[in-house]
């Protein structure tokens, strides 16, 4: 297949995935250009990767492909949503890299079982250490105490469910 043919095939596939995920077809060429320029999925397709069956969680407004591919990731910013935000989200939430994840179980203040969006996948979010550089800034008064949560070093890892374990056996 030619490069041109591959690119066109990727563009069509990208439009189909967008449609499946409920994103409307761009209504103008300028909107199409903007969507193409900002699409992590189209870049992924053009690099020869397959789309996932469902959209990956987002981190800092971008798809967190590495989390899904590796089954684990280390977010930069994690905090438990206060009651007023939980009301807005409609569920108890842990905010991971600016995106709300539904809390399925709170094991402790530093460990949660969560899920993202409408996905059935379960993830464990837990503190695995401290970020010394942030601790130093907090001690020196460089950061307001409202940034104390940034000193926690978090890990998010996929929890294998019973069905997945049976498939791989």
Length of the chain: 169
Rg (CA), the chain: 19
What CA–CA distance (Å, rounded) separates 93 from 98? 11
pLDDT in tens for each of the 169 residues of the chain?
A: 778 789 999 999 999 999 988 998 889 999 999 999 999 999 999 999 999 988 899 999 999 999 999 999 999 999 999 999 999 999 999 999 999 999 999 999 999 999 999 898 999 999 998 888 777 877 888 777 777 778 789 999 999 865 444 444 4
Query: Which pair of tokens denotes residue 82?
Result: 């206060």
Does pTM top 0.85 for this prediction?
no
What pLDDT, on a 0 to 100 scale, did the predictor assign at position 111? Answer: 97
Surface-to-core class of residue 125, CB atoms within 10 Å of its CB (0-12 exposed, 13-18 middle, 19+ buried): buried
What pLDDT, on a 0 to 100 scale, did the predictor assign at position 161? Answer: 65
Is the sign of the CA dihedral 51, 56, 59, 62 positive or negative? Answer: positive
What pLDDT, on a 0 to 100 scale, did the predictor assign at position 130? Answer: 85
What pLDDT, on a 0 to 100 scale, did the predictor assign at position 162? Answer: 54
């Amino acid at each position: 297949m030619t490069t041109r043919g591959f690119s066109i095939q990727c563009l069509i596939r990208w439009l189909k995935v967008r449609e499946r995920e409920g994103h409307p077809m761009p209504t103008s060429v300028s909107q199409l250009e903007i969507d193409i320029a900002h699409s992590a999925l189209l870049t992924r397709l053009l690099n020869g990767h397959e789309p996932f069956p469902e959209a990956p969680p987002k981190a800092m407004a971008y798809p967190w492909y590495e989390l899904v591919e590796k089954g684990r990731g280390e977010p930069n910013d994690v905090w438990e949503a206060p009651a007023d935000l939980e009301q807005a989200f409609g569920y108890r939430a842990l905010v991971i890299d600016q995106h709300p994840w539904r809390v399925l179980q709170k094991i402790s203040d530093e460990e949660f079982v969560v899920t993202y969006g409408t996905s059935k996948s379960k993830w464990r979010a837990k503190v695995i250490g401290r970020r010394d550089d942030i601790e130093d800034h907090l001690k020196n008064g460089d950061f307001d105490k409202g940034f104390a949560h940034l000193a926690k070093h978090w890990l998010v890892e996929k929890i294998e469910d019973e069905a997945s374990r049976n498939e791989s056996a």
